[in-house]
């Protein structure tokens, strides 16, 4: 294999896939990226067996071929070269040579045949969605995914289509985030898949805001073509909880607050909350919301926010981080917090919209 391109042309696809290439691997080949050069195109592939990323770019191919090289080292080499440098990458026996100006690097390699690839995903459903809208789905929900929960199906994001809308749902058992978008065409079937946490975070990293993307859902994989990058992720095999049951349908009490004022008051009060449990007490009275926190050192914080609320007094405890995450994800100036009683979950959303909703379970303080 032999190819020539500018440093920038080679850097872009490598940076796109490097997120899934890990230094410490059980299989040595997984620390490598696969370079495949033919027809004046170079494709760079990285994988951790759960998520696969393939990025392509135009190069001048003098000799087609495939080889794997250490991903992080190759990235560091390209980054260290001067801008606009012409780079030649070629195989020399068992090694790979990188030449640029007066610099020359020789890297170890492993045969391309050893590199694990996801060839065909047997797509059962294909959706064409606006990239910006799809990114919004992930941005508004990903923070509610569980981390290393024994209920493995919570360590990911549910993507669900019912023919009219595409919905993203994430929950860690203590809170839930839901965001949905309308689909332009009619999807053939109802479909539910759970994309693992790492796949969701990589997808969020490479998604832009322009154009449309093709989403293909197979039996065990989901695949998305985003410009020059092809993303493929394994799916979590499990049953997602029936999330509809935990979303309060019509909470009898609604507190309307200025989102930014409330967010800042929560941040101030949280300073003296218990560092482990992050509990904070909310007391809603007509036109006033009182926030209180205390910790094992007997320190206390109290803040008050003027709100629009007409109802009987209700006192309820929450994990303040969950409230802050939800408020940060809502874009409107005002926010509605729906309350039932001191033992029930609250529903947080922007006034007049239901396409993005957050549910936070109460805490005993």
191-245 pLDDT tens trace: 899 999 999 999 999 998 889 999 999 989 999 999 999 999 999 999 999 999 9
- Regarding whether 18 and 7 lie in a shared domain, the answer is yes
Does pLDDT of 121 surpass 70?
A: yes
pLDDT tens, 315-353?
999 999 999 999 999 999 999 999 999 999 999 999 999
Q: pTM of the predicted model, to two decimals?
A: 0.92
Does pLDDT of 188 surpass 80?
A: no
Q: In which domain, by residue range, is 61 found?
A: 2-114
Whether 318 is in a domain gets the answer yes
pLDDT for 137 equals: 97
- Regarding whether 286 and 175 lie in a shared domain, the answer is no
pLDDT for 186 equals: 63
3-state secondary structure of 245: helix
Copy the structure tokens of residue 324: 């802050």
H/E/C letters for each residue in 25-82? CCCHHHHEEEEEEECCEEEEEEECCCEEEEEEEECEEEECEEEEEEHHHHHHHHHHCC
Copy the structure tokens of residue 326: 């939800």
Share of the chain above pLDDT 90, in %: 90
Does pLDDT of 189 surpass 80?
A: no
171 Cβ partners below 8 Å, 6+ apart? 144, 145, 146, 154, 177, 241, 243, 246
Does pLDDT of 187 surpass 90?
A: no
- Regarding whether 138 and 60 lie in a shared domain, the answer is no
Domain endpoint, select from 245, 273, 289: 245
Domain endpoint, select from 245, 273, 304: 245
pLDDT tens, 60-100?
999 999 999 999 999 999 999 999 999 999 999 999 999 99
Share of the chain above pLDDT 70, in %: 99
Q: How many domains does the chain have?
A: 3
What is the rounded average pLDDT for all residues in the chain? Answer: 95
Instruction: Evaluate whether 360 touches 348 at the Cβ level (below 8 Å).
Output: yes
Instruction: Evaluate whether 109 touches 69 at the Cβ level (below 8 Å).
Output: yes
3-state secondary structure of 221: strand
């Amino acid at each position: 294999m032999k190819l020539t391109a500018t440093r920038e042309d080679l850097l872009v696809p490598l940076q796109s896939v490097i997120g899934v290439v890990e230094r410490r691997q059980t299989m040595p080949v997984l620390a490598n990226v696969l370079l495949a050069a033919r027809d004046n195109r170079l494709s760079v592939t990285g994988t951790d067996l759960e998520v696969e990323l393939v990025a392509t770019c135009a190069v001048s191919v003098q000799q087609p071929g495939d080889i794997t090289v250490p991903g992080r080292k190759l990235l560091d080499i390209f980054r260290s070269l001067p801008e606009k440098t012409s780079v030649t990458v070629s195989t020399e026996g068992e090694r790979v040579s990188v030449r640029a100006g007066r610099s020359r690097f020789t890297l170890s390699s492993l045969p391309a045949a050893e590199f694990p690839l996801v060839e065909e995903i047997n797509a059962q459903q294909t959706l064409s969605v606006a990239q910006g809208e799809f990114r919004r789905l992930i941005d508004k929900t990903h923070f509610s995914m569980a981390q290393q929960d024994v209920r493995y199906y919570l360590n990911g994001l549910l993507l669900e289509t019912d023919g009219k809308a595409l919905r993203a749902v994430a929950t860690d058992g203590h809170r839930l985030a839901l965001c949905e978008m309308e689909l332009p065409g009619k999807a053939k079937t109802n479909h539910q898949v759970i994309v693992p946490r790492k796949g969701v975070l990589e997808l969020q990293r490479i998604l832009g805001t322009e154009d449309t993307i093709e989403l293909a859902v197979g039996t065990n994989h989901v695949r998305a073509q985003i410009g020059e990058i092809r993303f493929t992720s394994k799916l979590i095999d499990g049953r997602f909880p029936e999330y509809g049951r935990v979303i309060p349908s019509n909470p009898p009490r609604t507190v309307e607050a200025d989102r930014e004022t409330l967010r800042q008051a929560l941040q101030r009060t949280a300073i003296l909350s218990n560092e482990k449990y992050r509990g904070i007490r909310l007391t809603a009275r007509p036109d006033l919301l009182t926030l209180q926190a205390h910790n094992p050192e007997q320190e206390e914080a109290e803040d008050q926010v003027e709100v629009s609320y007409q109802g009987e007094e209700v006192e309820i405890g929450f994990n303040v981080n969950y409230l802050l995450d939800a408020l940060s994800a809502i874009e409107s100036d005002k926010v509605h917090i729906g309350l039932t009683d001191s033992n029930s979950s609250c529903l947080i959303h922007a006034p007049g919209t239901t396409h993005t909703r957050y549910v936070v379970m109460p805490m005993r303080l």
